[in-house]
Chain A
Amino acid sequence: MTDDVARYPDGTRDVSCREAARLISFRFDRELNHDERRELSMHLMECLNCQRFEQQLKLLQQLSRQYASGAKAPDDAVS
């Protein structure tokens, strides 16, 4: 980490998409600490791509669970 990190007026670190993406992903597996939560929410407020990234990971999770129960089979559903 460099010393001259960009910060918001309140002192929160201005993180890059690269770091934000890690936090978005980590949030599926563990709780974020106070600083991480602030950094992420500040970033998400102004980054459309990371908002989409988060939405996509949610769908990915939903679809993975659906995959575990098998896709619905229209032709075989009623027999």
Chain B
Amino acid sequence: MRDSTRLYEQIDAERAYLLRFALAKLRDQDIAEEVVQEALLAALSGSANFAGDASLRTWLTSILKHKIIDYQRRVTTERERFASAPSAGEEADDWLDALFDETGHWRAEFAVWTLPDAAHEQRAFFAAFERCMDKLPTTTAQVFFQREVMGEDTETICKEFDISSSNCWVILHRARVALRECLEKNWFGK
């Protein structure tokens, strides 16, 4: 059995991740914080239900998902969806162009990446991963988070952000290239 203060601390340590998750879905800082708060309270009062066979993060995420759905239901019934479409390109492609030479070939030579192995290494990696995600433009970061972290299909994401699928693919491509650059510079290339 877990001692409750410790569980409380562990749950609180997941707050930052949950906030990212909520933000990718709700796209509003205040609302995301509110929903995460609700989820954490629900988790604490229901902590006896935490079986410990799934990871704590997985368990908390499932509670959060319910809270997000509840919130979305509440809003849809109250008023119309307020989602504003992100601008088509969101940003110029200059930084992307700069990665290639005049003939369209990569300028830099890439490193071979190996998976972070030990747990402490993994934690340091995910900290770097978060810093790199934070550097992405907002919509790009949220689309990437929904696609690769949450594992949503592109069709669902397109609908939610009200963008065309080709736009969605390009946004994801940009996100991957930008994260690749950032991770190679700050982690794998070291």
Contact = CB atoms under 8 A, between A and B. Distances in A.
A69 B179 CA distance: 20
Interface residues of A, number: 36
- A contact face: mostly helix, strand, loop, or mixed: helix
B115 interface: yes
- B contact face: mostly helix, strand, loop, or mixed: helix
A59 B184 CA distance: 12
Contacts of B113: 52, 55-56, 59
Contacts of A60: 148, 176, 179-180, 183
Contact of B122 (A16, A29, A53, A72): A72
B8 interface: no
Interface of B: 2, 6, 10, 14, 17, 55-58, 61, 100, 103-106, 108-113, 115-116, 118-120, 122-123, 125-126, 129, 147-151, 154, 165, 168-170, 172-173, 176-177, 179-180, 183-184, 188
Interface of A: 16-19, 21-22, 25-26, 28-30, 49-50, 52-53, 55-57, 59-74, 76, 79
